[in-house]
Each structure stands twice: as C-alpha cells, then as structure tokens.
A = this chain, B = another copy of it.
Amino acid sequence: MSLLNMEKSEQAELAAQVRKDYAELKAKGLKLDLTRGKPSRSQLNLSNDFLELPGATNYTDAAGNDLRNYGNLEGIKELRTLWGRLINVDPELLLAGDSSSLNIMFDLISWSYAFGNNDSDRPWREEEKVKWICPVPGYDRHFSITERFGFEMITVPMLEDGPDVAAIKELVLDPQVKGMWLVPMFSNPTGVTISESVARELAAMETAAPDFRIVWDNAYAVHILGDEFPKVLPIVDIAAEAEHPNRFWAMSSTSKITFAGSGVAFFASSRANLDWYLSIAGIRGIGPNKINQFAHYEFFGSSEGVRAVMRRHAALLAPKFSAVERILNNRLGEYQVAKWTEPEGGYFISLDVIDGTATRVWELAKEAGIVLTKAGASYPYGKDDNDRNIRLAPSLPPQEEVETAMDGVATCVLLAALEKLGV
C-alpha cells in the first residue's frame, strides 16, 4: 500500500520496523561504494590480453608507416575504419585521439572560448554571456566543464525519447545559447536512448547562433545489458542531410570497453569542424599514441570483435542491474516512495525518491557506510531543485555487495520518506 494512503498507525508500525532495520544496517559497519561508473575487476580481466599488445615486432600499419615515430594527428587508419563501422560514421570524418573523449570535449569548448570555432563571428570569451543547454538529469563531468568556463547552464528535462525538443527550440532562438550537452544512447544517468526523429529535429532546427554546437557524447553506444545492439544513428550524415553539417561534435571512446583510463577517444564531425580542431590540436601536440591505437586494433580485430567484448561485459553487468531493480521493487514497490529506471544499457540506474529527501537518503546511506553519488550530482552546479534524484552505479562492487548496498539504500529511502511525513 502507498505510504501516503496508510493509516497513521500503520505508518508508525512501518517506521518502527524501518528504524530497527536502519540501526541493524549501521551496526554492520559496511564500507560500500556505488558512486561512480567504474568497471569491475572481472570486467577489466576481459581485456588482459591487451596488456602485451601490439607485440614486440608489430609496429607497422598496413600503409607501411612506422607507428613508433612522430606523426599522424588524425590517428591510425585501421582503428578509425573499424570504429567508423561500429558507430556508423565515415572513417574519413573520424579522428582517433588519446585517453577519454572528455579531453576532446574540454578542448573543443576551451578553443571555442579562446579563439572561436569555425562558425564563430568572434571568440566565445568576447560574448557578454554564453549559455548552454543541459538536459537533466545528466552527466556531472559535462556540467563541470561548462561551469569552469562560466557558462550559464539552462536545464531542459530528459524525456523518454530524448531531451525536450520543444523547449530546446525556444532556447536556441537566443544567440547567446552556444551549445548543448547530450548523451544520446543509454544516457547518463537516465538510460534514455534518443529517437531518430528527435535527432533529426535537433539537426534541422534553426539556431540564432551560427556557431551553436551539440556535444553528442555517445559514450555508451555499444554498452548493452541485454543481447541486442541498438542501431547507432549516423549523426554526421543526419547533420549533413539537415543542411547543418557542423551541428554536432560527436564523441565516442573505448573507456569501459578495454581499460578505463588507457583507451582511445574518437571525435566524429564534419570536415570543416575537424579541420578547425586539427589546426589547433596540431599546435598543442604532435599526435596521439599510435602504439596504443594499434594495440586496440589488434585486440578487437574488427567491429564485431568490439561487440563480442561488449557481450561479455553485459554478462557480468546484467545480474547487478537486475539485482538493483529486484531489491528496489521488493523493498519499495508497494509503498510508492520511489521510481527508478530499468535501463537496457549504460552504467547507471536513476532513482527518484520523494521530493526533498534525496540529500537525506544520501546522508543516511553515508552514515551506514554506503557511499552514493552525492544527491544533485546529475544537475548543473550540483543543484537538484526538487532534491529528488540519486544516481546509482552498480558496476564496480561484487554482486553480493551490490545486493547488500541496495537493501541498505532501500531502508534509507523508506526512512527518509517517513521522516518527511513526520512519522
């Protein structure tokens, strides 16, 4: 029965039980961490062969280039071709860089700020104000970048098929609105995958700023939890067809495929956007780690090889996600004190608790030794005005710990709800 519909006496009885549960939970002295979307040890083990690649005599690409020497700002052709096939983009319009795509996103914004991008009338630093659209809940590290540059972040809700396009279309009539964050597949943290029609609307819409950009951060393009790989939208083609070829800066990476911090980042976009980026990247450095790129190529072999690795990840991740959903359902379902997503991919479950209790849930969990991502972290400036959302990241801990932690979290959600009701 919904907590709100209960008799006072029933609420009191439940509160007594929940307080007892919470006392027992604290007594366990747990030390569990569900804060970040890190792969587990078992997942990392899937790529151990990578640690001895490319191998002592293997340093020449198909075109005969010695990959041990300087050069090649765009990244090695073999890997760009493989990855282009995977994410539906022409390898000529795809760069392979170092590490995580976050670096490239930061640089794109930083260089637009310092110099202006290829469609800017002037550098963004010369604008009286730069505004940036942020679908929420979203990715905290995105928001940290735009916060650092002092942009005003404007939130729009993430709906079931992507961000609220009607709201976005209004906002982009303002020439100070220069861009937007977006995780288009298995979004962080909602798990939402954007529909093709929403993507086409974002590509086609008229914006007041000629240098408006959507950071299309396709971080979870192949990060499934089930068996099926959803179609990856050919976003560079979609932009060209909509006659806004420079609309998207599209990101992808091998993070959470091979090793988290030792991967390859990819950047796909129009020729004009890439040329602008390369003109500055070529001053910043002498090119990416081609040996690491070649090792990735050798490890995967083909785009189907990437999918094979991702199926193995899914086999390890899916039971953890199922456990979270099962425990939340068992413990909270009948009381209607929370809603949560049941994603088909990605790394997160988004948990909405009763308005005004998310911070309290976080505190209660922390006191019981369960560290959750800070309430509000999925909102710009860490401010969830409804104090409602908590991002759950079940990938890192072993299965048993995930289950223990989630049972604890359920107790905290209930206790915070009861406190809110003054019970």
Contacts and interface: CB of A to CB of B under 8 A. Distances in A.
Interface stretch (A68-76, A158-166, A201-209): A68-76
- Residue among A51, A99, A125 with most chain B CB within 10 A: A51
A210 interface: no
A102 B102 CA distance: 19
Contacts of A63: none
Contacts of A66: 41, 44
Interface stretch (A286-294, A322-330, A372-380, A407-415): A286-294
B290 A69 contact: no
A51 B51 contact: no
Interface stretch (A13-21, A142-150, A230-238, A363-371): A142-150
Contact of A51 (B56, B69, B99, B280): B56
Contact of A48 (B57, B100, B102): B57
Contact of A52 (B53, B145, B285): B53
A41 B39 CA distance: 38
A260 interface: yes
A303 interface: no
> Which interface residue of A49, A69, A103, A115 has the most chain B CB atoms within 10 A?
A69
Contacts of A335: none
Contacts of A110: 110, 114
A51 B41 contact: no
Given A260-B70, A262-B291, A291-B259, A145 B283 contact: yes
Contacts of A288: 99, 261
B44 A48 contact: no
Contacts of A41: 66
Interface in A177-230: none
A51 B44 contact: no
A244 interface: no
A350 B4 CA distance: 83
Contacts of A284: 102-103, 106-107, 145
Nearest to A106: B284
A106 B282 CA distance: 11
Nearest to A263: B289
13 contacts: A39-B69, A48-B56, A51-B55, A67-B262, A68-B260, A69-B261, A72-B261, A99-B288, A102-B284, A106-B283, A125-B125, A261-B288, A289-B292
Interface of A: 36, 38-39, 41, 44, 47-49, 51-59, 66-72, 98-100, 102-103, 106-107, 110, 113-115, 125, 141, 144-145, 148-149, 255, 259-262, 280, 283-292
